[in-house]
Each structure stands twice: as structure tokens, then as C-alpha cells.
Amino acid sequence: MAKAKKGTDQAGRLGEFVETTVGGEAVRAFVPPALPPTPPLKLDKLYGLLDQANRALGRLDGVTSILPDTPLFLYMYVRKEALLSSQIEGTQSSLSDLLLFESDEAPGVPLDDVQEVSNYVAAMNFGLERLRDDMPLSNRLIREIHEVLLAKGRGSTKQPGEFRRSQNWIGGSRPGNATYVPPPHNMLEDCMGDLEAFIHSEEVDLPVLIKAALVHVQFESIHPFLDGNGRSGRLLITFLLCMEGALKEPILYLSLYFKKHRQYYYELLQRVREKGDWEAWLEFFLEGVKETSDQAADTAKQILELFKTDQQKIEGLGRPATSALRVHQHLQSKPILSVPIAVNALNLSAPTVRKSINHLIDLGIVRETTGKQRDRLFVYSGYLDILNQGTEPL
């Protein structure tokens, strides 16, 4: 039987510890207080940074209106986010592995790693589609997204789509020596109910970025699933910003920032739990929004410039340019391809595709990656180089 011990913090931000038994061992699990924090957040020193973050986010949102093919950019950018978010959890896949996997070209990597990243892409797309269909960001939707996230591969035995029915923990070999022990499973309904109420409360008057930052930490502290909590919590940030209208397109992803500052990120989550220091977390989060927004806008501009420059090179070919431009257009959505795939996708003959690819190789736009004479693969190297920035395995 769980027994609650009230926290001693006078400010009311520390929640309570609950004594419970796991495998015959007494454990102290942490139950976070409901949002918003009490006493209220001290935002005075953060307004300048909040303004900078909002302006950077606005500039990023504006980039989507000038992209010639916004779905194409999102298609690739979502995959980069999926890779980075999975890398934080220890996955050692690469963007090339994922693209090969999706095009049915067998990658020479552990299948579970690539499947995990592919699941993330599917979960992101599923959640955004449900929000566009006016389904609220609710516990029901969070569970549905989680079911997609863990549908195949490593996590498929960890109760996909269901809140856990046993105790979990973070760090350590067992709950007794863990870094952090989330609430017992019999308290999840109340904790997640409070979180859902906060997300939709009309009485909470907080800037959307602050709200998203609070929701992310609260979700991570509750840790409602047996597996996939980190990835689900990072997805929640984007879903909340889209739901609140802060973004027209799902173009802000913080996983690169969290990956780069991984240790500090985890320390700040603990500082919220142990000291109620929400303000330090908010400063970190807003810096991340500002930095990530600027990087994403810069990435979009780099890609636009690359496509434009390469198109001009191809147009200088003369008569062969027509077919080569079609192959180049296809490479923008599938930067790794084979001749048979291009033949099927473009309804061109194999000799025409081969000649076009050879032209692109001569122009320095495409390179062959296998070194083989048969079953050759070609990569749009400049494009992948831009997308690969920051995706080196941890």
C-alpha cells in the first residue's frame, strides 16, 4: 500500500514523495504537483528571452510560406527530428539508414534501430493528422500516438498505447538505486488527468511557449508509459504549439538542442523536481526555441539555395536537361535512389535514367555510394550533408 509523505517545501512546488514497495524493496516515488506551479512563475527576467524566442519562431513560421514545396521540407525535417529524438534514447541509426529502410533498400544496420526511427515518423504524422481533424490533445490521443510509436520493433512488448500498470524508474539497476522514480501506476490517472486539464484550461493565462515547456517537464516527471516517454514528451511540444496556433506547420523540433545539451537537460528536469526551479528550466527551453528556430530557418534557406544552384547547373546541359531535371526533382524527396526506383517513379526508360544520373554525377550533384556494378545506389550528397548537420551518433 502506498503511503504519501508531504514535501516540506513552503513554496508548494515540490510535490510529494510516496512510499511504495517494488519487488519487496521500499521505494520513494515522486508525485509532481499539478500545474501551474505555485507560487506563480517569476517571468520578469525571462520576458526579453521570451520575446526573442517568439520572434525567432515567427520568422521560422514565415519560412514555410516562401518554400516552393513545404511538404517536401517537412518530409525530410520530420525524419531528421525522428532520428535525433531516437538518438537521445540510444539509437545508433543514421538518416541514410532511415531513407534506405523506407525505400525498401536493405540497410546494413540493426533493423530495430531503424524501425524505432520509422515509428517516430509515423507517430508524428499520425498525431498531426488527428489534430487537423479537430481531435483535442488529450490523454486518449497521447495513448494513440504512443501506440503508433511502439507499434513495431523493440518497444512493441511494452504495452503500446496503455499507461503503465507497474512501477518504472530512470537510472540505476532497480527502483531502489534509481536517479528518479516516477509516480506509482495507481496514481497515473489523477496525474495525467491534471495534466490534460492544464493543457485545456481557459483560466491559465500563460504564453504558449511557457505552457509547452511546463507540459513537457510534467509529462517526463509522470513518465506514464513503460517505454517511449522521452520521445512522446518531445512530440508533445510540437503538437501543443500546432494546436495553439503558434506554428502553421510542424517545423520546430528541439531534439538537436536537447541532444547537444543532453546532460544539462536531465539536470534541469531534476532541479524542477528537487528544488522547484522552473525558472532555470524555462530559460533553457526558451534559449532552445530561439536557437533551434534560427537553425531551422537557416537550414531551409540553405536547401533552397542548393536546389536553385543545382537546377541552374542542370539547365546548362542543353537537351539532356529535361530528363535530368526530373531526376533532380525526384531526388529532392528521395535523396537516395536506385535506377529501378527512379524508372518506376518517373515513368522514364532505364537508359534515360542512367544517362541523367551520369550527368548529375559529372556536375557533382550526385555520387554513387555502393562501389558496385550492380544494385547501385546514388545519393544527393549536398542535400544530405545539410540535413545531416548535428545527426552524428552520440
Q: What is the pTM of this model?
A: 0.86
pLDDT of residue 89: 72
Structure confidence at residue 117 as a pLDDT band (50, 70, 90): confident
Same domain, 236 and 331: no
Give the mean pLDDT of 179-185: 95
Q: How many structural domains comprise the chain?
A: 2
Query: How confident is the model over 269-294, as a mean pLDDT?
Result: 96
Instruction: Give pLDDT, residue 168.
Output: 94
Residue 11: inside a domain, yes or no? no
158-162, 169-173, 267-271, range with greatest mean pLDDT: 267-271
Q: How confident is the model at residue 103 (pLDDT cuts 50, 70, 90)?
A: low
Q: Tell me which residue has cell 540553405.
A: 302
Rounded alpha-carbon distances, angstroms, from residue 135 to 50, 128, 129, 198, 325:
29, 10, 9, 17, 41
State how far the Cα of 169 lies from the Cα of 298, in Å rounded to an integer.
38
Are 285 and 330 members of one domain? no
Q: Which three cell numbers stand for residue 375?
A: 544494385
Tell me what pLDDT residue 5 has: 42
Does some domain include residue 34? no
The answer to whether residues 121 and 190 belong to one domain is yes
- Which H or E run contains 282? helix 278-315
Q: What confidence score (pLDDT) does residue 271 get?
A: 96
- pLDDT at 23 exceeding the cut of 80: yes
Tell me, yes or no, whether 124 lies in a domain: yes
DSSP 71: H
Whether residue 294 is found in the same domain as residue 320: no
Q: What is the pLDDT, as a whole number, of residue 112?
A: 64
Note the Cα 336 to chain centre separation in Å: 22
* 387 pLDDT tier (thresholds 50, 70, 90): confident
Q: Are residues 339 and 290 in the same domain?
A: no
User: In a 10 Å sphere around its CB, with 0-12 CB exposed, 13-18 middle and 19+ buried, how is residue 171 labelled?
Assistant: exposed
Phi-psi region of 53 (alpha: psi -120 to 50; beta: other; left: phi over 0): alpha
Residue with the three cell numbers 545527426: 391
Residue for grid cell 525535417: 77
Q: Tell me, what amino acid is at 36?
A: P
Q: Could you tell me if 350 and 239 lie in one domain?
A: no
Q: What is the pLDDT of residue 269?
A: 96
Per DSSP, the three-state class of 153 is: coil
Residue 328 lies in a domain: yes
- Per the domain annotation, does 65 fall within a domain? yes
CATH number for the domain that contains residue 78: 1.10.3290.10
Full DSSP string of 365-393: SEEE-S--SSS--EEEHHHHHHHTTT-S-
Listed residues 268, 298, 328: the one ending a domain = 298
Give the pLDDT confidence score for residue 264 in this predicted structure: 96
Determine phi and psi for 367, rounding to 5 degrees. -135, 150
Judged against a pLDDT cut of 70, whether residue 92 lies above it is answered with no
CA of residue 335 relative to chain centroid, distance: 21
- In-domain check, residue 2: no
Query: Do 226 and 348 share a structural domain?
Result: no
pLDDT at residue 156, as a whole number: 78
- Quote the pLDDT of residue 240: 95
Classify residue 111: in a domain, yes or no. yes
End-to-end Cα distance, the chain: 41
Percent of the chain with pLDDT over 90: 59
- Domain for residue 27, yes or no? no
Residue 317: DSSP 8-state: T
What does the pLDDT average to over 332-345? 89
In this structure, which amino acid lies at residue 80? K
Between residues 375 and 235, the one the model is more confident about: 235
Mean pLDDT of all residues belonging to the chain: 88
Residues 149 and 49 in one domain: yes
> Are 378 and 335 spatial neighbours (Cβ–Cβ below 8 Å)?
no
CB burial of 300-325 (b: ≥16 within 10 Å; e: otherwise) equals bebbbebbeebbebbeebeeebebbb
Q: pLDDT value at position 111?
A: 61
Question: Is residue 9 very low, low, confident or very high in pLDDT (cuts 50, 70, 90)?
Answer: very low
- Do 56 and 97 lie in one domain? The reply is yes
Under the banding of pLDDT at 50, 70 and 90, the label for residue 10 is very low
Note whether 274 and 357 are same-domain residues: no
Least confident of 31-35, 63-67, 318-322: 63-67
> Does 230 lie in the same domain as 91?
yes
Looking at the fold, whether 284 and 380 belong to one and the same domain comes out as: no
Residue 206: what pLDDT?
A: 96
Is pLDDT at 106 greater than 50 in this prediction?
no
Read off the pLDDT of each residue in 167-173 and give the average, rounded to a whole number: 91
* Residue 359 belongs to domain spanning: 316-387
Residue type, 326: R
323: CATH = 1.10.10.10
pLDDT at 37: 95
Report d(CA 214, CA 127) in Å as an integer. Answer: 20
Q: For residue 118, what are the CA distances in angstroms to 95, 250, 269, 374?
A: 10, 17, 27, 27
Whole-number pLDDT of residue 374: 82
